[in-house]
Amino acid sequence: MYGKLRPAPDRDSAAWWERLARHEFAVQRCDGCQAARFPPRAFCPACRTEGWRWEAVEPEGTVESWIVNHQAFVPGVREPYVVVLVRLAAVPDCLLHGGWAADGEPAYGQAVRGVYADIDDDLVLLNWRPVR
């Protein structure tokens, strides 16, 4: 379904995509200043330290924004579909997008939890659904 329109892991994000494929959600934790960060990067944006480690966190947050897309950009994806922007609870400075895995539209500030979407053998995405 996704064909050529797939995430392209790079040096910094490849390990994150591998974790996601195993249904693990993690952020980087700086060895220098202990700041949590996402997306993955080689250097800490706060203190510029190169040392870091992966830290498992719950894929939870709140809806910051969303859009209802009425154009199919990916063959096989039904429209309209909702894309949400979520502020992670574990890293409040981080915004992470994903699909909406619920009926209806999200609401600003709504509590959400990540759900793993196994697209095929090689691709797992993170979508969001309301916390009930």
Question: What's the token pair of residue 59?
Answer: 């894929």
The reported pLDDT for the residue numbered 2 is 54
Q: List CB contacts of 23: < 8 A, sequence separation 6 or more.
A: 116, 124
pLDDT digits (tens, 9 = 90+) for 56-95: 999 999 999 999 988 877 777 777 889 999 999 999 989 9
Tell me the pTM: 0.87
Q: How many CB atoms lie within 10 A of CB 97?
A: 14
d(CA 46, CA 26): 19
Higher pLDDT, 72 or 4: 72
* The listed CATH number (1.10.357, 3.40.50, 1.10.3470, 2.40.50) that belongs to domain 58-132: 2.40.50
The reported pLDDT for the residue numbered 3 is 55
- Return the bridge partners of 63, or none: 86
pLDDT digits (tens, 9 = 90+) for 103-123: 989 999 999 999 999 988 888
Question: What's the token pair of residue 113?
Answer: 């939890």
Residue 11: which pLDDT band, with cuts at 50, 70 and 90?
Answer: very high
The reported pLDDT for the residue numbered 67 is 93
Q: Give the residue extent of every domain in the chain.
A: 7-57, 58-132
